[in-house]
Amino acid sequence: MKSSVSPTQRAAPPRPRTTSAMLLAGVLLTSSGCAVANSAGGDTGRDDGRTLRVVLTQEPPTLEPCEASLTGTGVVVRSNITEPLVERDPTSGALNPLLATGWKQTAPRTWTFDIRSGVTFQNGAPFTAEDAAFSIDRAVNSDLACNVEGYVFGDEDLEVKAVNDGSLTVTTEKPDPILPLRLSFVEVVPRTTDTKAKVRVPIGTGPFAVRSWQPGAAISLDRFDDYWGRTPDFARARYVWRSDASVRAAMIDKGEAEIAVALDPMEAEKDTTVAYPNNETTALRLDGREAPLDDIRVRRAIDLAVDREGIIDALLGGLAEPAGQLVPPGVVGHSDQIEPPRQNVAKARALVREATADGVPTGRQITLVARNGMFAGVSETAEALQYQMQEIGLNVRVRMADTATQLQYQLRPLPKNVGPIALLIMHGNQAGDAAFTTSQYLLSDGPQSTFGTDALDRRIASAGALSGEKRQKAFADLLTEQNQSVVQYAHIAHMNGLLGLSRSIRYEPNSATGDEMRLAEVHSAKGAKH
Amino acid sequence: MIPFLRKRVLSSAVPLICVVLGVFFLARMTGNPVDLYLPLSATPEQRAEFSAAQGFDLSIPAQLWNYLVDAAHLDFGTSLRTGQSAGSMVIDAFPVTLQLAGVTMLLAITGAVLVGSLAAYRPNSLIDRIASLLSMTAASIPDFWFAIMGVLVFGVSLGWLPTSGTLGGPEIWVLPIATLLIRPFGVLVQVVRGSMVSALSAPYVKIARSKGATPRRVVFGHALRNAATPVLTVAGDLTVGLVNGAVIVETIFGWPGIGKLMIDSILQRDFAVLQAAVLLTAVTIFALNILVDVCHALTDPRVRQAVPA
- Rounded to the nearest 10°, the torsion over CA A96, A98, A101, A107 is -70
pLDDT per residue as tens digits for the range A394-426: 999 999 998 888 888 988 888 889 999 999 999
Closest in B12, B50, B167 to A43, CB measured? B167
User: How far does the CA of residue B181 sit from the closest CA of chain A (Å)?
Assistant: 15
CA distance B138 to chain A (A): 22
Residue A13 confidence class, pLDDT cut points 50, 70, 90: very low
Nearest CA in chain A to B252: A244
Q: State residue A38's pLDDT score.
A: 42
Furthest CA-CA distance within chain A: 96
By Cβ distance, the residue of B159, B172, B230 closest to A7 is B230
Cβ(A479)–Cβ(A326) below 8 Å: yes
Q: Which of residues 420-449 of A touch B (CB under 8 A)?
A: 440, 447-448
- Cβ-based contacts of B31 with chain A (< 8 Å): 404-405, 408
Q: How do residues A244-300 score in pLDDT, each as one tens digit? A: 999 999 999 999 999 999 999 888 889 999 999 888 999 999 999 999 999 999 999
What is the rounded CA–CA span in Å between residue B192 and residue A305?
Answer: 59
Residue window 111-140, chain B: list those with CB within 8 Å of chain A. none
Side chain identity, residue B287: A
Interval B270-298 mean pLDDT: 85
Contact criterion met (CB < 8 Å) for A32 and B99: yes
CA A153 to chain centroid, in Å, comes to 17
Contact B167 A5 (CB under 8 A): no
- Which residues in B lie closer than 8 A to residue A24 (C-beta atoms)? none
Please tell me the distance from the alpha carbon of residue B172 to that of residue B197, in angstroms, as a whole number: 37
In Å, the largest CA–CA distance within chain B is 87
Could you report the per-residue pLDDT of A175-195, keeping only the tens digit for each?
Answer: 999 999 999 999 999 999 999
Give the whole-number percent of chain A exceeding pLDDT 70. 92
Do residues A511 and A330 make contact, with C-beta atoms less than 8 angstroms apart? yes
| Predicted TM-score (pTM) above 0.90 | no
When pLDDT is cut at 50, 70 and 90, the band that residue A91 belongs to is: confident
Contact B163 A18 (CB under 8 A): no
For the segment A29-50, what is each residue's pLDDT rounded down to a tens digit?
Answer: 443 433 344 444 677 777 778 9
pLDDT mean over B31-57: 79
Determine the residue of chain B that is closest to A414 in CA distance: B35
Run of H or E residues at B111: helix B86-121
**pLDDT digit string (tens) for A292-347?**
999 999 999 999 999 999 999 999 989 999 999 999 998 999 999 999 999 999 99
> In whole angstroms, what is the distance from residue A17 CA to residue B299 CA?
11
Q: Please determine, for residue B236, whether its predicted confidence score (pLDDT) is greater than 90.
A: no
Residue B97: closest CA among B263, B240, B255, B299: B255
> Which range, A61-70, A470-479, B66-75, B223-232, is most confident?
A470-479
> Which 191-210 residues of chain B touch chain A by CB within 8 A?
195, 198-199, 201-202, 204
* Cβ count near A226 (within 10 Å): 12
Segment B114-127 shows an average pLDDT of 86
pLDDT of residue A6: 32
Q: Is the pLDDT of residue B292 over 80?
A: no
State residue B27's pLDDT score.
85
User: What is the pLDDT of chain B when averaged over all its residues?
Assistant: 84
B19 touches chain A (CB under 8 A): no
Please say if the pLDDT value at position A26 is more than 80: no
Which of A12, A62, A147 lies at the smallest CB-CB distance from B300? A12
Please check whether residue A442 is in contact with residue A488, taking contact to mean a CB–CB distance below 8 angstroms: yes
pLDDT band at B307 (very low <50, low <70, confident <90, very high): low
CB spacing of A243 vs B251 below 8 angstroms: yes
pLDDT of amino acid B302: 67
* Minimal CA separation from B61 to chain A, in Å: 23
Residue B210: Cβ within 10 Å count: 8
Long-range contacts of A20-25 (CB under 8 A, 24+ apart): A25/B102, A25/B106
Q: Which of A107, A115, A128, A114 is nearest to A171 (CA)?
A: A107
- Looking at every residue in chain A, the average pLDDT score rounds to 88
CB within 8 Å: B148 and A244: yes
Contact call for A246 and B148, based on CB within 8 A: yes
How far apart are alpha carbons A504 and A7 in whole angstroms? 61
Judge whether A240 and A247 are in contact, CB under 8 Å.
Answer: no
